[in-house]
Structure 1
Amino acid sequence: MSKQVADVDTLFLHEAGDDYAVVVRRDDERLLRGRLELKSTDAGPRPGRFRVKDGDDEVPRRPEQFVEMARRARRIRLSEQTSRGGRQELEAMLDGYQLKAKQVRTCRICAGKGRYSPLTSETAIEADDEHICPDCAKRELEREANYRGLRSGARDRLEELLVEVGDLERVRNLLSGQLDPELTKFDEISATTDDIDLVPTAELDVHPDLTASLEQFDELLPVQSLAVENGLLSSRDQLIVSATATGKTLVGELAGIDRALKGEGKMLFLVPLVALANQKHEDFTDDYGDLLDVSIRVGASRIRDSGNRFDPGADVIVGTYEGIDHALRTGKDLAEVGTVVIDEVHNLGEDDRGHRLDGLVSRLKHYCETNGCDTQWVYLSATVGNAGQLSEQLDAQLIEFEERPVPIERHVTFADGSEKVDIENKLVRRAYDAKSSKGYRGQTIVFTNSRRRCHEISRRLEYSSAPYHAGLDYGQRKRVERQFGDQ
């Protein structure tokens, strides 16, 4: 008898048609794979024919060799998938040699291919009406991923989910447009609250007209209070880093509008996009138009729907980075600049826009120094990778406020084409069906990578929607903004 036969750890038997698959293992490695046919004798079922796999061939072996292996095996296992009749036949055969076998839960796919893969509650992956091993489940998922052309990052995430939930069909359904928030959830940015002493608006040392416009607020918001307490109204340059909708814009207004009303120079409020410039221009005109002259400078020299031309002498100028940069390059006299507010200053770190914004800041500083302006610089951003480093680069005091009143969940989906729109519809419906404590229904903003895709998604959504992008004219964008705000 060979040493391989003498050192058998596990002898595994699995019903395969009219005969039985045989797998011999030692030290977690397969030593032998074969097929066993039983024959009926007066003493009961006994080994009839025994064939061992050798590549694509089957080599006949003496039936007695199977009996020797069975006697030498430390354990004999029968697959759970073997029928009751087959199991009884095998047990009767083994009993004839005073051998006992134990039924085990195994992977059917592996068993059919001559592999022994016992399953436990921790390793079993549910697939249709059965359970298979993780390796077979991953191979099934890999085939689906190949068919759909998924990249390595998506494949890795799907495999993580497969191991995590142990359900192949549930994970595979993600590829066909089914919405499963428990699986698509990638992580959650927790809500955070900081204990900040809020500054009463009545105590602000600002121009009386600005105080009057702030009467609707009893106190400043936390990030605004931090900025004021750290010298905002004393002309100190500041970098304000705080999440969206925490009140950063008013920080710039407090500094710039106050100085403009006191005759200490105009405010430049710079944003990256025309749509944002139009929005801020309208807001500032509504809020301060009866106190100060407000103008706008974008790529074109006037607001499209009103015809108001750019006035470099205005008290408040709202502009895009490119618009103000063009004004400087063409020699426009901006007179005394008291405050420069640069929104979304994190664009300094972007490859396509960073160098342009950096050049604009340099030209603006040169203009202010050359013209003897005592300019205060306020930089605003919702996200900065290294806020401390940026504040040093800008020579501005860092005011960082990380409070987030509600947590944010981030989800990753894997569908494409029409299935993406199906998921988007489900997400829109999920948001719409939720109501706030004030009775407002949830709203949704869908971001995509092209104007064409923007219109396509809007047409296919089941709820009222509208495309919104820089290719729309000012009037169209304002209609969409108002409709969204009036929901």
Structure 2
Amino acid sequence: MSQQASAVDTLFLHERSDDFTVVVNRNGERLFQAILELKVTDAGPRPARFRVQKDSEEDLRRPEEFVDIARRASRIRISEQTTREGRDRLQSMLGGYQLQGKVVRTCRRCANAGRYSPLTSDTAIETDSEHVCLDCAKRELEGELNYRSLQSGARERLEELLVETGDLDRIVNLLQGRLDPDLTKFDEISATVEAVDPVPTESLDLHPDLSALVTEQFEQLLPVQSLAVRNGVLSGRDQLVVSATATGKTLIGELAGIDRVLSGDGKMLFLVPLVALANQKHEQFTETYGDLVDVTIRVGASRVRDTGATFHPDADVIVGTYEGIDHALRTGKDLGNIGTVVIDEVHTLGETDRGHRLDGLISRLKHRCERAETDTQWVYLSATVGNPKQLAGSLEATLIEFEERPVPIERHVTFAEAHEKSRIENKLVKRAFDTKSSKGYRGQTIIFTNSRRRCHSISRSLEYPSAPYHAGLDYKRRKTVERKFGDQELAAVVTTAALAAGVDFPASQVLFDSLAMGIEWLSVQEFSQMLGRAGRPDFHDEGTVYLLVEPDGVYHNSMEMTEDETAFKLLKGEMESVYTGYDESSAIEETLANIVVGGPNAKRLNDRMIGDVPTKHALGKLIEYDFIDGTNPTNLGRVVCRHFLDPKQAFVMLNGIRSGDDPDDIVADIELLESDG
């Protein structure tokens, strides 16, 4: 004991019921713990019994050993939680040996457990009307996190907030879906403005009719538009324009294409990934340029449902979906003299399911333009590209990159079980709609979720006027929603991926009811594209984004990560590079389409695509499937190509039919093929 006592730097005393806990520390670590009982003597309180605790046993020592330890301690501390009477007894006992103890603020939970944890204003964590040390607060928080099965990203964030706020109760409330803005705020993406001298619209070398229209609407171009013009977009130079949402990218393609149309240099194709976006662009182009040019739309094989807007291949401007124009190519439709091709949302090239089709479309369309000997200009637009220089090189285009964000965006994270999300969304929608910006506009919300059914469910649960918006609605209903939102008659729209691709709703707030689209987690690129819809410079002072995260939540058993893991991956993630990957099915599909369109030139079409296509293997499979004969497609191959069928699935289906298999067995074989893929 004397050896241990000689090294003591702190002796800590804490009242229990009728006795005191004694903690002996050396170099900041507990050397041992004991129990001290006092007795009343004529000289005052004195040690009566001194029991050293070791594991579950107690070692009774002479009371004098406690006095020896106290005399050798560098400092003696008494817990603030010890009663006044208890403190007086200890001080009187110590005074009898000419010793003095200092009363200090400590963690009660540590003291009860035999640990000395002094507290300061910087280290104390408030909980249940008392203060505890950070370690105890973390242990309690850990229990809450374990109960909700929160994963590492969320744990790190919440521990950071615990240290930052010093209030455990606020953090626990956050886990219960409370909207404490100081805690939910993850970060702020600042508004940034690059120094770009604007180009006056009157100086633009445009066709007189287009020049009159543009100068009437704008005195000068926005920065990214000015950069594009200075780098030759009006002189026919191919460009990849990468800039945030609402910075004016679309007008770049419009100016180049409409000018070439009016100057007799060929028609313009404006291509987008989704029907909803094509419908909106068609309406905008008709309204803006309808007096100057003929505008038509191509989203499928023939016509747009419910609009009566028949496709006219001879029109000056064709607004189309990727699939609509690709269908025209695959079926040999004459698109006429193409002077300009504008491909919006070109980062779709990196998507697993659709990237290969856009890659193939670009190659086939370039082949079509070369065969027609047209000097076609290509303009590619995107808000989100992780490898812009590399992509521009692959597309043989000049890179125009502009990183301005017109308004700041606050990003928030809160935690909620699935059944609590609608309540929180309702509160956030109301709060936004009840607030006006300095420009006089009410705050409106886009809520992203992962299914059409959920769109309707959320919309019904909101108290303020709202509407679901997705590709399953007919054209008339979608247009009604767009008009009402634009007129500020709706507080919110609830949507799936349809709006993420760029439909232009002036929302101040974006809520993520889910971080999945269908049964797949969002990519960083998709997430950035969607949150970029919050805040428009002509309407709002700032944008607000909320992620409503379900702890341990998944939407399909194939998901390896949980929603809370995904949330912090997305918030901290870097933009993915845009690269088109090919598996066997996509390689076979695009090779077949290139044979249908290019015939003997199919290999050259494959070679010019961005992704690496295993052409020889794909050709072997197409021969095996009887989809090609040499360098020509068979009638069967043409049908598979025309209807965008997965060649492997089509082969399994046809093989089953030829063999007289039961239809249920054929379906089972196709499902098995999908699961193996």
* TM-score after normalising by structure 1: 0.96
Structure 1 segment 208-223 matched on structure 2, within 5 A? 208-214=208-214, 215-223=216-224
Query: Would you say 1:162 and 2:151 are equivalent positions?
Result: no
What is the distance in 2 between the residues matched to 1:5 and 1:326?
Answer: 88
Structure 1 segment 7-406 matched on structure 2, within 5 A? 7-214=7-214, 215-299=216-300, 301-406=302-407
Q: CA deviation at 1:420?
A: 2.7
Higher deviation after alignment, 413-422 or 466-475: 413-422
Q: CA deviation at 1:71?
A: 1.6
Higher deviation after alignment, 197-206 or 341-350: 197-206
Query: Would you say 1:474 and 2:475 are equivalent positions?
Result: yes
Structure 1 residues 454 and 151, CA gap change in structure 2 (3 angstroms)? farther
Q: Which amino acid aligns with 2:195?
A: D
Q: CA deviation at 1:147?
A: 1.6
Structure 1 residues 314 and 16, CA gap change in structure 2 (3 angstroms)? same
What is the distance in 1 between the residues matched to 2:435 and 2:101?
Answer: 57
Q: Which amino acid aligns with 2:49?
A: R
1:32–1:53 CA contact under 8 A, matched in 2: yes
Structure 2 match to 1:425: 426
Q: Which amino acid aligns with 2:337?
A: E
1:154–1:414 CA contact under 8 A, matched in 2: no
2:246–2:406 CA contact under 8 A, matched in 1: no
What is the distance in 2 between the residues matched to 1:415 and 1:14?
Answer: 40
Structure 1 match to 2:514: none
What is the distance in 1 between the residues matched to 2:260 and 2:2?
Answer: 96
What is the distance in 1 between the residues matched to 2:184 and 2:228?
Answer: 38
1:179–1:426 CA contact under 8 A, matched in 2: no
What is the distance in 1 between the residues matched to 2:160 and 2:445?
Answer: 29
User: Match of 1:467, SS?
Assistant: strand
Q: CA deviation at 1:300?
A: 5.7
Higher deviation after alignment, 296-305 or 160-169: 296-305
Higher deviation after alignment, 403-412 or 375-384: 403-412
Higher deviation after alignment, 148-157 or 209-218: 209-218
2:269–2:338 CA contact under 8 A, matched in 1: yes
Q: Which amino acid aligns with 2:426?
A: N
What is the distance in 1 between the residues matched to 2:273 and 2:108?
Answer: 59
Give aligned-pair identity as a percent. 74
Higher deviation after alignment, 442-451 or 201-210: 201-210
Kindly provide the CA deviation profile for residues 114-147 of structure 1, in whole angstroms up to 9, marking residues without a partner as x: 1111112221111131111111111111111122
Q: CA deviation at 1:415?
A: 2.3
1:295–1:310 CA contact under 8 A, matched in 2: yes
1:177–1:422 CA contact under 8 A, matched in 2: no
User: Match of 1:446, SS?
Assistant: strand
What is the distance in 1 between the residues matched to 2:47 and 2:169?
Answer: 40
Q: CA deviation at 1:381?
A: 1.0
Structure 2 match to 1:443: 444
Higher deviation after alignment, 174-183 or 248-257: 174-183
Higher deviation after alignment, 345-354 or 167-176: 345-354
Q: CA deviation at 1:276?
A: 0.5
**Cα root mean square deviation, aligned:** 1.7
Gaps of 5+ in 1: none
What is the distance in 2 between the residues matched to 1:58 and 1:364?
Answer: 87
Q: CA deviation at 1:160?
A: 0.6
User: Match of 1:118, SS?
Assistant: coil
2:124–2:131 CA contact under 8 A, matched in 1: yes
1:13–1:79 CA contact under 8 A, matched in 2: yes
Higher deviation after alignment, 33-42 or 306-315: 306-315
What is the distance in 2 between the residues matched to 1:352 and 1:323?
Answer: 17
Kindly provide the CA deviation profile for residues 194-219 of structure 1, in whole angstroms up to 9, marking residues without a partner as x: 33332232332222222233222222
Dislocated runs of 4+, deviation >6 Å:
none
Q: CA deviation at 1:11?
A: 0.9
Higher deviation after alignment, 328-337 or 411-420: 411-420
Higher deviation after alignment, 199-208 or 137-146: 199-208
Kindly provide the CA deviation profile for residues 217-249 of structure 1, in whole angstroms up to 9, marking residues without a partner as x: 222222222211221111011111122112111
User: Match of 1:32, SS?
Assistant: strand
User: Match of 1:35, SS?
Assistant: strand
Gaps of 5+ in 2: 489-677
Give the count of matched residue pairs: 487
Q: Which amino acid aligns with 1:179?
A: L
What is the distance in 1 between the residues matched to 2:152 and 2:475?
Answer: 42
Q: CA deviation at 1:484?
A: 0.5
1:79–1:103 CA contact under 8 A, matched in 2: yes
Structure 1 residues 87 and 300, CA gap change in structure 2 (3 angstroms)? farther
Kindly provide the CA deviation profile for residues 250-280 of structure 1, in whole angstroms up to 9, marking residues without a partner as x: 1111011111222211111111111111110
What is the distance in 1 between the residues matched to 2:412 and 2:263?
Answer: 49
2:207–2:263 CA contact under 8 A, matched in 1: yes
What is the distance in 1 between the residues matched to 2:121 and 2:350?
Answer: 49
Q: CA deviation at 1:385?
A: 1.4
Higher deviation after alignment, 179-188 or 131-140: 179-188
Q: Which amino acid aligns with 1:264?
A: D
Q: Which has the higher contact order (CA 8 A, sep 6+)?
A: 1
* TM-score after normalising by structure 2: 0.70
What is the distance in 1 between the residues matched to 2:13 and 2:150?
Answer: 38
